[in-house]
Amino acid sequence: AGDLAGFHAALGGCAVCHDTNAVTAANVPDDERALNQKCETCHGDYKALAEKTKDLRFNPHASHLGDINCTVCHAAHEKPKLACNDCHTFDMKLPFADAAAKENWDKGVDEAAVAKALAEAPRETVDVLVIGAGSTGYNAAISAKRAGASVLLLEKHAFSGGNSMLAAGGYNAVGTPQQAKKGVKDSVESYIEDTMKGGRGKNDPALVKILAEESAAGIKWLEDMGANMDDLKRSGGAKVDRTHRPAGGLSVGPHIIDVLRAQAEKDGVPARLNSRVVKINLDADHKIESVIVHGKHTGYYKVAAKAIVLATGGYGMNQEMIAWYRPTFKGMTSSNNVTSTGDGIRMALNIGASTVDIDWVQAHPTVGKDSRILISETVRGVGAIMVNSEGARFVNELTTRDRASDAILAQPDRTAWLVFDSQLYGKAKMVRGYDHLGMLKKADTVGELAKATGMDPKTLEATVSAYNKYRAAGKDEAFGRPDMPLSIDKGPFYAVHVAPGIHHTMGGVAITPESEVLDIQSRPIPGLYAAGEVTGGVHGLNRLGGNAVADTVVFGRRAGEHAAKYALGL
Ligand code: MEZ
């Protein structure tokens, strides 16, 4: 069968898509931007395409992935592949779907090619090299650039965003205008106390203090770039409402990634896609010297850097690492992006970095059953209750994730249902997304909802009625839930089936408050910085909802600034 490349070539040669007819791998940039500009010239931009495909059951050009390269899905010289299906199972035909499959360029590491690149002179030299273009990486790269360093941001995947792209709930911050407007009484001390308690007291107190103290400045930093963080709610384990997200209850991750992508472009920070760092090299004095990159089209090459920021995320999608560090979670579904494979941890270990709490893995209690789709904690925060397959509550829905997950896993079928009504449906926009994905059961009465989900109608009716009474009296007599924002009495009623799934790997490389990575003698490795989920220490043994996005912004910025200072000798 033909492919997209052959089809276009028949219209006028390779130059229809490339800048020239004399195409070699070396003149196709790894980020594929130039190719995509050509696609847009003929087919229109993302917005125009979204309009054209708006009547499809799932509109692939209006997704939470944002404005990604056309070539991510519409590969020209190989079998096209729907990026959505990394997590979903959409039945969608792509043009030339029957083209021949080609071996994945990023499969394994060619050690001989690495050795050759090592022996060669660097192709490029930068002050600060940032590895991983999720929220942490973008924040680090933008702040390093603003601090005066030359910067290169490398991303192994075909589009940026990493795991941050999937963050639904929000960003925990204290002392923001949003909290003041809502009259929320909060303090840095209270944020620290909740975070330490959630982490079972094992967090590094110096890192938690920074997270809390700099959280509000991180919100302002994002707002100054154009983000909207005006919606405020409570997440599990927090005493007050401090989780910020876009107005209307939209998911936080796609929004901030859109904003950061645009800002990086404005600030002249190059984000090079399809570029996997496979090795970090130290010089004879054990200082950062360079990395070996594997580019999709350009092969293996060396980039010299004075400083590196590891922003590679966790290892929630690496089943081997899960089996090694947390065997009881082996085979469990994961809400993580396919990019969360622990590469940064492996490369740092290879150059003598130490780790903290590396075996602590968080299961999020509510991942859609038999799926990889996270049902955000927001749904419980805004007012849903959680019941078992009989229709009975069994836990305070706003407890920390480890406790909520353990409680679900103690139920006979190790699953639960979130139950809510039309009020919540109207308030939390992300719920409409779950509905669109066909994940919700819906009924006009609580009894009918029980029948639709296989629960016992009398039990569910009694559960909902008791909950409404507790709410009216202001005290949850059954499980001590601290906040019951909504009653459940305005039909239609909804339920979504959930089970725990791997969500966050709390441990990672050990860092100082300046984001320097420590070696096994607890001395900083000169020039190596890290932030976000690749690090350990911030979250202790259990992370609170909303603290990951805060971590990516607060410590991403810090890592970028300190790496720039080091590289510039300041
Ligand atoms: O911080 C998180 O992981 C979070 C708030 C997730 C969610 O449930 O939405």
pLDDT higher at 33 or 292: 292
Q: Which of 171, 366, 376, 505 to mutate to test the pocket of ligand 1 (most atoms within 8 A of CB)?
A: 376
Whole-model pTM: value is 0.95
Ligand 1 centre distance from Cα of residue 344 (Å): 23
Q: What pLDDT was estimated at residue 249? A: 77
* Closest C-alpha to ligand 1, atom 3: 545
Ligand 1 centre distance from Cα of residue 363 (Å): 11
Q: What pLDDT was estimated at residue 1? A: 60
Q: What pLDDT was estimated at residue 136? A: 98
* Residue pair 311/301 in contact by the 8 Å Cβ criterion: no
Q: Which of 377, 553, 554 to mutate to test the pocket of ligand 1 (most atoms within 8 A of CB)?
A: 377
Q: CA-based Rg of the chain, rounded to a whole angstrom?
A: 24
Q: Is 276 a catalytic residue?
A: no
Task: To the nearest 10°, report the CA torsion of 326, 327, 333, 338.
Answer: 60
Find the distance separating the first CA and the last CA of the chain, reported in whole Å: 59
Segment 41-63 mean pLDDT: 93
Checking if the pLDDT of 140 tops 70, the result is yes
Ligand 1 centre distance from Cα of residue 476 (Å): 24
237 Rama sector, left if φ>0, alpha if ψ -120 to 50, beta otherwise: left
Structure tokens given for 14: 């390779």
Residue 312 is which amino acid?
Answer: T
Cβ contacts of 41-47, under 8 Å, gap ≥ 24: 43/70
- Residue 67's nearest CA partner among 254, 326, 248, 245 is 254
Segment 346-363 mean pLDDT: 98
pLDDT tens-place string over residues 182-215? 999 999 999 999 999 999 999 999 999 999 999 9
* Pairwise CA distance, residues 482 & 236, whole Å: 10
Phi, psi of 422 (to 5 degrees): -65, -25
Would you tell me how many other CB atoms lie within 10 Å of the CB of residue 445?
Answer: 13
Residue 448 is which amino acid?
Answer: E
Checking if the pLDDT of 349 tops 70, the result is yes
Q: Which residues line ligand 1 (CB under 6 A)?
A: 168-170, 235, 374, 376-378, 545-546, 548
At 332, the pLDDT band (50, 70, 90 cuts) reads very high
Q: Which of 364, 402, 434 to mutate to test the pocket of ligand 1 (most atoms within 8 A of CB)?
A: 364
* Pairwise CA distance, residues 557 & 221, whole Å: 10
pLDDT tens-place string over residues 384-442? 999 999 999 999 999 999 999 999 999 999 999 999 999 999 988 889 999 999 999 99
Average pLDDT, the chain: 96
Nearest atom in ligand 1 to the alpha carbon of residue 169 is 9
Segment 536-541 mean pLDDT: 98
Nearest atom in ligand 1 to the alpha carbon of residue 252 is 9
Ligand 1 centre distance from Cα of residue 390 (Å): 27
Segment 218-244 mean pLDDT: 96
pLDDT tens-place string over residues 6-33? 999 999 999 999 988 999 887 899 999 9
DSSP state of 544: P
Q: What pLDDT was estimated at residue 476? A: 98
Q: What pLDDT was estimated at residue 27? A: 87
